[in-house]
Structure 1
Amino acid sequence: MRKIIVMMVLSLVATSFYGQGLNQKDRQQIDQRVGSFLQQISDKNYTGLVDYIYPRVFEHTSKDQMFKTFAMLEQMGITLKFQNMEVLEANSLSTVDNIEYAMIKYNLDMTLPLTTDDLKGFAPLIVPSLESNFGKGNVIYNKAENYIRVKGQKYLMGVKDPEYKSQWLFLIYDASFKSAITKIVPAKVNQQAAAIAGE
């Protein structure tokens, strides 16, 4: 269970990007909101961080459980370090029922220092999960220097829903969230997203 929770949060926080391929207004809003989103991570303000996630995901994932997860991760001493984060491409998806969708492909480069005995003990469980998610060649486990480094390309789905003040909110587009996304995002949009992601 802890392995699943750790994987979910690693996916969640790895979302630094600059919107391209959208109109100027959307690019500016995405810039502003992503800056704030990353500041929540830096400040470990997990309550604030959850406010940037598309709320409908919480119809299928407990927000209270997320808060407990964040608290547990902090107690475990997990501190992620990011470098070389950039968007590779961004594409508008269909608008359905006045809800706009966008697909962003971004470069991920993050390091998880194994600073506690607990984290060192979890490493043999975390590494295979990361390899499954990012590809074996994209995960480096340096046991001698006690860190795990992940490099790869990931996708993020942006959602701008009038019900939520037409602000861009985010869904992590990977296996950890795929079940919830399938339930809350229209099939047409999911098909377009899957085509972009090469699925």
Structure 2
Amino acid sequence: MKLFSTLLFALLVTFSSFSQSHKEEITKNAETYYEYMTNQNFDGVLDYMYPKVFDTASKEQMKAGMEQMFNSPDMKIEFVSNTVTDVTDKMEVENITYAAIFYNSKMRMTFISEKDKSEEEQKTFLEFMEGIMKTQFGETNVTSDLKTVSLLINMDANMFAIKDPKYDGWKFIGNDDTMKELVNSIIPESVRTTLLKEKK
């Protein structure tokens, strides 16, 4: 009986360490991915994306889109912080391993095109944009700063981590409304419902 208890304990410890190691590995990779986003290292960001994403748009097209979005002469987008808050257990389907990553992101949008306008015009524009963003991200998640003509957006989001034998290491795909159709075509429904349910 004592031997059985010892073996059981050893197995539980081993399982726990395996479970922990994949979460640590995913977190470490996600933090690097977020660092690339913050520093606008788009090649690094694209290297972490699940390659099947490029069936819809090529790497070159996606990089051009990112450069256009982040280097607009009218608006500057910056990531203030991205913090992993949770990583789910792993789930394997047809030899591909999945996990869900939950994270908090803080992003600043500075409206360069409004800088030379009067304070009243800036205030009107900022209030208008704040209303739009609050509709999308929630009343308490958007704050404005008239001095810098910017909005700070706080959001809780999630994405999927994928370990596919065809590719090296963990890859990521964002999970939001704009990506819904693509995510649904790549991530099996059983995986989406099971992993996202873990956080509820």
Structure 1 residue 127, shift from structure 2 partner? 4.7
Partner Cα separation in structure 2 for residue 118 and residue 72 of structure 1: 19
Residue pair 1:110, 1:149 contacting (<8 A) in 2 also: yes
Pairs within 5 Å for 1:1-199: 23-76=19-72, 78-83=76-81, 85-114=82-111, 116-117=112-113, 127=130, 130-165=133-168, 167-196=169-198
- Bigger relative contact order (CA 8 A; separation at least 6): 1
Structure 1 residue 196, shift from structure 2 partner? 4.3
Aligned AA for 2:188?
P
Structure 1 residue 129, shift from structure 2 partner? 5.6
Would the alpha carbon gap of residues 193 and 98 (structure 1) be closer, same or farther in structure 2, given more than 3 Å must change?
same
Aligned residues: 175
Percent identity between matched residues is 23
1:4 maps to none
Residue pair 1:93, 1:189 contacting (<8 A) in 2 also: no
Q: If the length of structure 1 is used for normalisation, what is the TM-score?
A: 0.71
Residue pair 1:79, 1:113 contacting (<8 A) in 2 also: yes
Structure 1 residue 138, shift from structure 2 partner? 1.2
Partner Cα separation in structure 2 for residue 141 and residue 22 of structure 1: 44
Comparing 144-153 with 96-105, greater Cα deviation is found at 144-153
Would the alpha carbon gap of residues 132 and 158 (structure 1) be closer, same or farther in structure 2, given more than 3 Å must change?
farther
Pairwise CA RMSD: 3.1
Deviations 1:44-96 (A, max 9, x none): 2212211111111222344332122122134315241414x433322125210
Q: If the length of structure 2 is used for normalisation, what is the TM-score?
A: 0.71
Which structure's CA Rg is the greater one? 2
SS of residue paired to 1:170: strand
* Unaligned segments of structure 2, at least 5 residues: 1-16, 116-121
Residue pair 1:94, 1:188 contacting (<8 A) in 2 also: no
SS of residue paired to 2:94: coil
Structure 1 residue 128, shift from structure 2 partner? 5.5
